[in-house]
Structure 1
Amino acid sequence: MTSVPKLHLVPVPFAYAAGFVDTWHRTHKRPPGCKFCVGVADDDGVLRGVAIVGRPVSRMLDNGATLEVTRTTTDGTRNANSMLYGAVTRATFALGYSRLITYTQRPESGASLRASGWRVIAERPARPGWTRPSRPRAVLGTEAIPRTLWEAT
């Protein structure tokens, strides 16, 4: 049986967190910016995961009191993602924000979110993408995928 490494929280600058996302995230690129980032490292100081928190992507949710976890990424280390979600939840409310949200895409189970006390608040149907005749957008590869909206409790 493989032992689970002991993990601890570490501060991570955005540039470093974004590079970690570039290396490890399986579906998305780095977000354009953030409010704050946090990482988890093992006892040897090896970074095992990062979370990036920023303004909500949806302008309808960007009310000044809400933040969104725009990326979490790990190298697969057990419990790292749950630790990240717990940390960003505590930090968000400690900073005075009143709401923290994130999305998962199918087929992600949301196990780390449930383990951290988050709850599902909406199921979003697949969208054809963001491009419109009046404002063309690049195809990202994440179009036409149903999403689940989660909220920290």
Structure 2
Amino acid sequence: MLRVVPLTLAQANDAVTRLHRHHQPVTGHRFSIGAADEHGQLHGAAIVGRPVARAVDQHTTAEVTRLVTDGTPNACSLLYGACARAARAMGFDTIQTYTLASEPGTSLRAAGWVLDGHVRGRSWSTPGRPRTDTHPTEDKHRWVRRLT
């Protein structure tokens, strides 16, 4: 039986470092939560922050920027649902996240999120701002849950 527990950003980022397949830890957050068993062992973590896309209103929209689990059944949907409830309690109108287009989104659907769009994959590097991509550049799906 899993339960939701509060996490510091350092605790959540530690889980990201250990468990995430393709992303690095984040530098900031609004809040982080975990999925722990009855013995207190952490089986997953979610980090919720400001929307990454500049055009999205950061005052009304929260974004799950990282979510990781060790494969424990139902941990993903438990965390997605808890993130939405916490964001609603904090007064946000919407919560969103992005998955790789190759990922099915089963846990998001189970937690009441809906597929909201397709985002073309691209590099963050530009001639005026060269960067090394440390993330996948494939297409992504945007998932949303309306909270109001």
Distance 2:53 2:133 in 1: 18
Secondary structure of residue in 2 paired with 1:22: helix
Contact 2:50–2:58, Cα closer than 8 Å, also in 1: no
Please tell me whether residue 75 in structure 1 is matched to residue 70 in structure 2.
Answer: yes
Please tell me whether residue 11 in structure 1 is matched to residue 6 in structure 2.
Answer: yes
2:84 to 84, 89, 105: 89
Contact 2:97–2:144, Cα closer than 8 Å, also in 1: yes
Q: Which residue of 2 aligns with 1:98?
A: 93
Q: Which residue of 1 aligns with 2:127?
A: 133
Runs of 5+ unmatched residues, structure 2 = none
| Percent identity over paired residues | 44
Secondary structure of residue in 2 paired with 1:114: helix
Please tell me whether residue 119 in structure 1 is matched to residue 97 in structure 2.
Answer: no
Q: Which residue of 2 aligns with 1:151?
A: 144
Give, as a single letter, the amino acid of the residue that structure 2 aligns with 1:130: W
Secondary structure of residue in 1 paired with 2:63: strand
Secondary structure of residue in 2 paired with 1:152: strand
Distance 1:126 1:22 in 2: 23
Distance 2:121 2:61 in 1: 24
CA RMSD, Structure 1 to Structure 2 (Å): 0.9
Provide runs of 4+ in structure 1 moved above 6 Å: none
Contact 2:48–2:83, Cα closer than 8 Å, also in 1: yes
Give, as a single letter, the amino acid of the residue that structure 2 aligns with 1:48: H
Task: String of CA shifts for 1:61-103, please: whole Å, max 9, x gaps.
Answer: 1341111000100011000000000000000011001110000
Q: Which residue of 1 aligns with 2:32?
A: 37
Q: Which residue of 2 aligns with 1:109?
A: 104
Secondary structure of residue in 1 paired with 2:5: strand
Runs of 5+ unmatched residues, structure 1 = 1-5
Distance 2:30 2:135 in 1: 26
Give, as a single letter, the amino acid of the residue that structure 1 aligns with 2:26: P
Distance 1:17 1:74 in 2: 11
TM-score for both structures, normalised by structure 2: 0.95
Task: String of CA shifts for 1:88-136, please: whole Å, max 9, x gaps.
Answer: 0000011001110000003111000000000011011222x01111111
